[in-house]
A and B are shown apart, each in its own frame.
Chain A
Amino acid sequence: MKALSQKRRHPLAAVALLLMGLLVTGGLYAAASSVNEAQAASAYSASDVEEGNKLFLANCATCHGMNAEGTDAGPSLIGVGAASVDFQVGTGRMPMQMQGPQAQVKPVQFDDEQVQQLSAYVASLGAGPAVPEAEYLDTSLGNSGQGGEIFRVNCAMCHNAAAAGGALTRGKFAPSLEGVEEKHIYEAMVIGPQNMPVFNDSNISPEDKRDVITFLKEIEAQGSPGGAKLGSLGPVSEGLFVWTAGLGIIIAFTIWLTSRPS
């Protein structure tokens, strides 16, 4: 302490203090604003990254480039984060079956460990959103009422009020959210896969995302209060059903009423 008090009148003391202050605030800000990214880099081991690199070269590099820098056939993966890989590969969308308006879901090609290794490799290329923590996927902590309100404002216009999905322009579509894993719903909001907009944590906070997931899981579990859902696609499918099935029954009765009994 004595040495410090002696040096405080040094001509450079003010500069040193200023530098220290800047470093502390800057460091804190960086830590606070990149919580997601920080976890991404630390959660995976070096061997995960190495194995992931091998898998990447064998399965993904044709379109995304040898160093994931992107080619004409596929975008760069630098900075897309582990969440993106976990979503795209974990739902079977990647590796893509064929080029088209959008990547379609198909049976998952890799096991969980391989998905994790691929995620580790892509996360090591640059900071990006990480795979969400279990705390934000626990629907027992969420509020489904609040989640429903957020869903109706932000998601329902594309994914339908009952989360049954809907059509977009030129062959693209918003998929049904029934049966989608909690983790993948969360990741989709964070990364905005394909043409879905990004809903980052400052737009919908992690707690709010958990509420949305809780809402989706609740409507999935409780089912439709009115009996058959008919795909929850709204008045068109319901009207079609009544016109074909309802009128069909009426016509059948009319024929029966006017026919001659044997």
Chain B
Amino acid sequence: MGDHSHGSPQESGTVAKAQDDSLDKIQDPGLPPHRARLTDTDPRAAKRAERQVAILFAISMIGTVLFFVGYFAVGHPESIAEIRLQNMLLGSGTAFAMLGIGVGIVHWARTLMPDHEIAESRHEVRTEEGRQEAEEIVNTIVDESGISRRPLIRNSLIGALALAPLPGIVILRDLDLTKASASEIVDRLRHTMWDKGVRLTRDPSGTPIKASDVQIGSAFHVIPDGLNETEDPLNEKAKAVVLLMRLNPEDLNVSPEREDWHHDGIVAYSKICTHVGCPVALYEQHTHHLLCPCHQSTFDLTQECEVIFGPAAHALPQLPITVDADGFLVAQSDFHEPVGPGYWERP
């Protein structure tokens, strides 16, 4: 590439000059001939354009009026239909008020304001003097600060810069206001409200579920008994929600160590997807697939909720259940593995 630093609109670049004059054979074509607009030649067209601009400004005024109609005439909406009407009036009123002015001004400029062509010469992009000046400034700074001559200062500066972002990371970690230690936090991720003898209850009513209530093919959305009375029900629920399903016991392929985790074909699995924690609750009662709506991870209920499709990394944790003396379904223990997506201590 040539050096165009000294270029000016009247002259071609220095490099082009240094070569032969073959480049000069291409003549500057100049501006195309001026073409008059319809509104320049026909006074009636100009008059029409003037009216059109005025109409556009009038549309803007109508838009503003519409806004006030929506705001004052509808007032405080009482029904969904009134809310819809008000939203419509406020939105379209503002849109027309702004659009009318904008489109009107552009139309005015395009049709009625003078349209003679102007050639404006380009600013010089870069001058060699300016570049050298900047280079000198940088050199002076490097020289006077002595950063290359004093490695002690340079290295300690690098150290300080490396350490400075650390407080930000620590603050992020301490967004947890409970002041829990790292091991407590891991413990909290590891355990849920479920424990030996905790009843399975319906979400959201919290009523206990009898084993005989659960028909083959049905799905119950379950929360632990007492969840609604805890200090922070939503946080507890986010870990403890369970989906309870009953299928033909022959359809289940139970591994030896989970032999007594189900009750007569009634199985309970964590509803928290092991991918990023969406609720997996799309149960198909004939294929026995559980589908996560976020990223289509699919779990096979007959294979202890193994992942058969999608990005989830682990099978859904199973909640061991049994029946208490009154016939209600209860948990045998907490989940045997952490629910939900992986974390630092559990990839």
Chain A positions near chain B (C-beta within 8 angstroms) = 149-150, 153-154, 157-158, 166, 168-170, 172, 174, 192, 194-200, 202-203, 222-227, 256-257, 260-262
Contact = CB atoms under 8 A, between A and B. Distances in A.
A153 B285 contact: no
Given A197-B218, A222-B80, A223-B81, A157 B281 contact: yes
B222 to A, nearest CB: 10
A206 B219 CA distance: 17
Nearest to B308: A169
Interface string B14-47: 0000000000000000000001011100000000
Interface of B is mostly: mixed
Interface stretch (B83-91, B141-149, B159-167): B83-91
B78 to A, nearest CB: 12
Interface of A is mostly: loop
A228 B209 CA distance: 41
A37 to B, nearest CB: 13
A195 to B, nearest CB: 4
A262 B84 contact: no
Contacts, number: 92
B334 interface: no
A260 B219 CA distance: 66
A3 B177 CA distance: 81
Contacts of A225: 80, 83-84, 87
A203 B218 contact: yes
B208 to A, nearest CB: 11
Interface of B: 35, 37-39, 79-81, 83-84, 87-88, 91, 106, 110-111, 115, 202-204, 209-210, 212-221, 245, 279, 281-287, 289, 291, 293, 296, 298, 309
A13 to B, nearest CB: 33
A153 B213 contact: no
A153 B207 CA distance: 14
A169 B287 contact: yes
B245 A202 contact: no
Contacts of A172: 284, 287
Contacts of A198: 215-219, 285
A261 B111 contact: yes
A172 B287 CA distance: 11
Nearest to A201: B213
A145 to B, nearest CB: 12
A194 B285 CA distance: 8
B271 to A, nearest CB: 9
A226 B111 contact: no
Contacts of B220: 203
Nearest to B291: A169
Contacts of A194: 286
Given A257-B106, A262-B38, A195 B286 contact: yes
